[in-house]
Chains A and B, each alone.
Chain A
Amino acid sequence: AQSVTQPDIHITVSEGASLELRCNYSYGATPYLFWYVQSPGQGLQLLLKYFSGDTLVQGIKGFEAEFKRSQSSFNLRKPSVHWSDAAEYFCAVSSDNQGGKLIFGQGTELSVKP
């Protein structure tokens, strides 16, 4: 069955520290991979996406993610976290043969210490 796993439910980092959020997927077809961010009480905003090509993708707000097919992973990184990055982060996967349906991970809540 297709699935997305975000192993970390909650992460706390200090402001200015680096960040890595993990995402692993199980998917039979060639996946399209996404990271979304959700601030409290808000909808979801796309941070970045991977469809094909360069496995290191750049997104908004200084985020990047690397697709590693051998590890079935798509981890999100940021070199220096800002207090405004505190939010919930969702990894998601879809493919052409699934009608564009997104399968989401459970989410990782990020807290930022001053």
Chain B
Amino acid sequence: NAGVTQTPKFRILKIGQSMTLQCTQDMNHNYMYWYRQDPGMGLKLIYYSVGAGITDKGEVPNGYNVSRSTTEDFPLRLELAAPSQTSVYFCASSYETRYEQYFGPGTRLTVT
């Protein structure tokens, strides 16, 4: 199993550009999550999904969108990049709420 994979690993965006961060898991997990990590702040939940076709907002959803058309994929969309979105983004998945989350390697995004 590859586990949770994320692409790209690094990206630099200009203000106002758009991009999609890709996340795929091959563990047949129902639950998937997107977090952002800023220095000294831990990880904050952006969006999550409890299954294909179902998504919900987390703690910091503004400026982001998600979709979940399949069990495996959970892309995160940035429509109008802003410097405040400079961060490291982690995707995670779990089988159910009582099971641990498995994290991808992260995407380091810089908006200038």
Chain A interface (Cβ < 8 Å from any Cβ of B)? 4, 9, 32, 34, 36, 42-46, 49, 51, 90, 94-96, 98-107
Contact = CB atoms under 8 A, between A and B. Distances in A.
Nearest to A95: B97
A8 to B, nearest CB: 12
Interface residues of B, number: 28
B52 to A, nearest CB: 15
Contacts of B100: 34, 46, 49
Given A99-B48, A99-B50, A104-B42, A43 B31 contact: no
Contacts of A99: 31, 48, 50, 56, 97
A62 to B, nearest CB: 19
B101 interface: yes
